[in-house]
């Protein structure tokens, strides 16, 4: 069982972790782990092998993947940001133990806005949800429950013109208002 300072290596001999161990687990502030290629994978704090507090995750190409807080090895906190592998923002908002909640935004890989509104249990949920075409033009505006259009909503064409307005049930058009 490892306790105290030590090193951990990948099979290819590349250093994966150097720092303090407690009961055979990574344990210290300012931890850095690396991908097998040698690029940084994680920077932050670990307590008995679990990421905790502020930290960053990186893709193997070196681009930032996640910036925010951790709790028990999960994304957790307000003002969380995740990124696509090309460096463009993917999500900004709140998470509790890895699950999106409250106000947030999702982005296409191109960087344009895809969704803005509330989340509940990691799904679109609320009365003021908006989705967008990749061009940035609004696609849908209205209520959503558990990720599906439910209640009053509007659908727009790709050129921004109102196409339908009415009632949706379980993601399907029900009737005009």
pLDDT higher than 80, residue 2: no
Would you state the pLDDT for residue 83? 97
Say if 120 falls within a structural domain: yes
Domain with 62 in it: what CATH number?
2.20.110
Q: Are residues 92 and 117 in the same domain?
A: no
* % the chain with pLDDT above 70: 100
Q: Are residues 68 and 117 in the same domain?
A: no
Band the pLDDT of 70: cuts 50, 70, 90: very high
* Count of the separate structural domains present in the chain: 2
Q: Are residues 20 and 77 in the same domain?
A: yes
Six-digit token string for 19: 């720092």
Average pLDDT over residues 13-18: 81
pLDDT higher than 80, residue 85: yes
Of 96, 123, 158, the last residue of a domain is 96
Residues in the chain: 177
Average pLDDT over residues 69-94: 95
Average pLDDT over residues 12-30: 80
Q: Are residues 20 and 91 in the same domain?
A: yes
Q: Mean pLDDT of all residues in the chain? A: 92
Q: What confidence tens digit (pLDDT) does each residue in 28-64 have? A: 787 888 898 889 999 999 888 889 999 999 999 999 9
Say if 105 falls within a structural domain: no
Q: Are residues 61 and 130 in the same domain?
A: no
Q: Are residues 88 and 5 in the same domain?
A: yes
- Its pTM stands at 0.86
Would you state the pLDDT for residue 109? 97
pLDDT higher than 90, residue 1: no
Average pLDDT over residues 59-76: 94
Of 41, 65, 96, the last residue of a domain is 96
Band the pLDDT of 168: cuts 50, 70, 90: very high
Q: Are residues 79 and 121 in the same domain?
A: no
Give the 3-state secondary structure of the chain: CCCEEEEEECCCCCEEEEEEEECCEECEEEEEEECCCCCEEEEEEEECCEEEEEEEEECCCCCEEEEEEEECCEECEEEEEEECCCCCEEEEEEEECCEEEEEEEEECCCCCEEEEEEEECCEECEEEEEEECCCCCEEEEEEEECCEEEEEEEEECCCCCEEEEEEEECCEEEEEC
140: domain range?
A: 112-177
pLDDT higher than 80, residue 71: yes
Q: Are residues 81 and 145 in the same domain?
A: no
Q: Are residues 88 and 125 in the same domain?
A: no
Say if 23 falls within a structural domain: yes
């Amino acid at each position: 069982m490892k306790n105290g300072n030590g090193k951990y290596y990948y099979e290819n001999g590349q250093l994966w972790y150097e720092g303090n161990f407690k009961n055979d687990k990574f344990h210290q502030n300012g931890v850095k782990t690396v991908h097998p290629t040698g690029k940084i994978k994680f920077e932050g704090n670990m307590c008995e092998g679990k990421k905790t507090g502020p930290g960053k995750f990186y893709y193997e190409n070196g681009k930032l993947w996640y910036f925010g807080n951790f709790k028990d090895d999960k994304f957790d906190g307000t003002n969380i940001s995740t990124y696509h592998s090309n460096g463009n923002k993917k999500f900004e908002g709140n998470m509790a133990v890895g699950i999106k909640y409250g106000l947030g935004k999702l982005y296409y890989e191109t960087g344009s806005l895809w969704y803005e509104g509330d989340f509940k249990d990691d799904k679109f949920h609320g009365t003021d949800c908006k989705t967008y075409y990749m061009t940035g033009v609004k696609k849908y505006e209205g209520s959503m429950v558990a990720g599906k259009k439910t209640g009053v909503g509007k659908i727009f064409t790709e050129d921004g013109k109102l196409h339908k307005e009415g009632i949706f049930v379980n993601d399907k058009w029900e009737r005009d208002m």
